[in-house]
Amino acid sequence: MRRRDFLALTFRSAAGLALCGGAVAWSSAGIVRLHRRTIHLPNLPPAFDGLKIALLSDFHHGEWISREHIRSAIRLANAQMPDVTALTGDYIHRRTKWVESCFREISALRAPLGVFGVLGNHDHYGGASRASRRALISSGAVDVTNTGVDLTRDGQTLRLGGVGDLWEEKQNLAAALGKKGKPGTAIILSHNPDYAERISDPRVALVLSGHTHGGQICFPFIGAPIVPSRFQQKYRAGLCRAPNVPVFVTTGVGSSFPPIRLNCPPEVALLTLSCGAA
């Protein structure tokens, strides 16, 4: 084979592989998986042993992420029959015009102990924060930004609270936790997992977050080149450890630009809480 023919064949092969890789990355962004995880919490009140939490985050509804995609994630979450559903923000992608259609889908979420949520940074862009917060509440969810509620079972209490987005709001953990509570008996929603680095209150048993999208594009042995966190790979995805508290970071339902994923599928996380150490 002549050198010129060899180079031409090499170029066509590389282009074909790139196109195939791009197609795979594009298609994988549209298939929402179920991520099951059991999380052991030493001080979890026994009445809440086995509590199921569906965690959804980072819908990013907009030009790239359709209502149908969001609807598929919500159907998947509801099919698990969770006790609680937690939403950790970035419902829309930057523009107010996507708020109504996104939360129309979110209103279909069902959980006997409630649906709870906070906003993410994208929900503030373009002046969307007020409309996003109103829509969150109108959808039937409880806005736990810098506040919280007490879940009760068999006379025992588990606190579920949240804080404002780390980049766009203030965070009031004391208000989220309330005045009472024993060590390890509160779950906190925080869109950005970096906030967990600041938590030292022993009442917090677990932080639930999104924001990082798992990096969206992950390479073998290397990981995700871009993770929107000061701590890089530490809070990329899954069960992580802050200085004083465990943090579960979901890869999210949607994608930001570019709307592709590689080795990092979108997900609905189903977390089952368990008493005691792992």
Q: Which of 251, 252, 247, 161 is nearest to 198 (CA)?
A: 247
As a whole number of angstroms, the distance between CA 246 and CA 184 comes to: 11
CB 92 within 8 A of CB 135: no
As a whole number of angstroms, the distance between CA 251 and CA 213 comes to: 4
Q: Give helix 99-106 / helix 129-138 axis angle, nearest 10°.
A: 20
CATH number of 31-275: 3.60.21.10
The pLDDT tens digits of the residues spanning 134-171 come to 999 999 999 999 999 999 999 999 999 999 999 999 99
As a whole number of angstroms, the distance between CA 278 and CA 268 comes to: 23
pLDDT for the residue 29: 60
- Residues near 214 by Cβ (< 8 Å), separated by ≥ 6? 224, 236, 237, 249, 251, 252, 264
Confidence of residue 43 (pLDDT cuts 50, 70, 90): very high
Confidence of residue 276 (pLDDT cuts 50, 70, 90): confident
Average pLDDT over residues 64-90: 97
The pLDDT tens digits of the residues spanning 210-265 come to 999 999 999 988 889 989 999 989 999 999 999 999 999 999 999 988 889 999 99
Percent of the chain predicted with pLDDT > 70: 89
Write down the domain spans for the chain.
31-275
Asked if the model's pLDDT at residue 4 lies above 70, the reply is no
CA 25 to chain CA mean position, Å: 20
* Mean pLDDT rounded to a whole number for the chain: 90
As a whole number of angstroms, the distance between CA 141 and CA 135 comes to: 9
Rg of the chain, C-alpha, whole Å: 20
CA 230 to chain CA mean position, Å: 17
Average pLDDT over residues 55-77: 96
Q: Which of 179, 236, 213 is nearest to 88 (CA)?
A: 213
The pLDDT tens digits of the residues spanning 127-140 come to 999 999 999 999 99
Question: ω into residue 258 within 30 of 0, thus cis?
Answer: yes
Global confidence as pTM: 0.89
Read off the DSSP letter of residue 219: B
Tokens of 24: 């795979």
pLDDT for the residue 12: 40
As a whole number of angstroms, the distance between CA 84 and CA 52 comes to: 6
pLDDT for the residue 277: 75
Burial of 210 from C-beta contacts in 10 A (0-12 / 13-18 / 19+):
buried
Residue that the structure tokens 């993410």 belong to: 120
How many beta carbons lie within 10 A of that of residue 15, not counting itself?
10
